[in-house]
A = this chain, B = another copy of it.
Amino acid sequence: MPIQPIARVQNDVGAELRGIALQMFAENGYAGTSLQQIADAAGYSKSSVLYHFGSKESLFDAALRPAVEQLSLFLDSIVEKLTADDRRDGFVTEFIDLLLEHRLAAHIIINQGQTLSDIVVVDEARGLIDRIGESFMVGLPTPAQRIRLGVALAGAAYVMVASRPSVAEIEDVAEVREALIDVVTELITPLSR
């Protein structure tokens, strides 16, 4: 067995707790999920959970962090490409794939976002989402156009998220993915300058 330099098991437990917590937060909400429930589901004691993550909010932050990180990268790529190119085709695919990859995190931020506005990671995520919206909104002066964009993005996000999070897999991910890309592209395309 190869050498494990430092902190092997710790990362495993941390990742395990993050995953379980993410799923339970998505299913029952942040306020509706207690540390005791998370600990029971993971097979640890509540104290042990608080040993790895100093507080409930810290665990919540750690669970959502990867999604927010990637959302930030997505925002950067948008800004970069929108200045060099006036077409928006590629962004739709990236957006849908981002949602697909972080379904649970998206579910939490979308459904509990404004309830948890005092939590740091949620505020960050909502700020990023706002900036993404603004990036797309550039050149869309009329409310009608903005609402069209809103329906496209929010509709796609909500459709993906609406299925109960306990049902892990959508019937046919590839099919859903393509259908979403199609309809969102159709809604967004006429908005190009």
Given A32-B31, A115-B29, is A151 in contact with B180 using a C-beta cutoff of 8 Å? yes
Given A151-B152, A151-B184, is A112 in contact with B111 using a C-beta cutoff of 8 Å? yes
- Each complex incorporates copies of this chain amounting to 2
Of residues 140 through 184 on chain A, the ones whose CB sits less than 8 Å from some CB of chain B are: 143-144, 147-148, 150-159, 162, 164-165, 171-172, 175-176, 178-180, 182-184
- Nearest CB of chain B from residue A11's CB, rounded to whole Å: 30
Taking CB atoms, residues of chain B closer than 8 Å to A183 are 147-148, 151, 187
Taking CB atoms, residues of chain B closer than 8 Å to A124 are none
Taking CB atoms, residues of chain B closer than 8 Å to A178 are 144
Number of interface residues of A (CB under 8 A): 38
Taking CB atoms, residues of chain B closer than 8 Å to A147 are 159, 176, 179-180, 183
**A83, B171: Cα distance in complex, Å:** 30
* Nearest B residue to A146, CB-CB: B179
A123 lies within 8 A of chain B by Cβ: no
- Nearest CB of chain B from residue A35's CB, rounded to whole Å: 14
A36 lies within 8 A of chain B by Cβ: no
**A150, B182: Cα distance in complex, Å:** 13
Pick from B115, B148, B175, B184: contact of A28, CB below 8 A: B115
* Nearest B residue to A177, CB-CB: B147
Question: Which residues of A are at the interface with B, using a C-beta cutoff of 8 A?
Answer: 27-29, 31-32, 110-112, 114-115, 143-144, 147-148, 150-159, 162, 164-165, 171-172, 175-176, 178-180, 182-184, 187
Q: List 13 A-B contacts (CB under 8 A).
A: A31-B32, A110-B158, A111-B115, A114-B164, A143-B175, A144-B178, A144-B179, A144-B182, A147-B176, A150-B159, A151-B184, A154-B154, A155-B156
- What 4 A-B pairs have minimum CB-CB distances, sorted nearest first? A155-B155, A151-B155, A144-B179, A154-B158
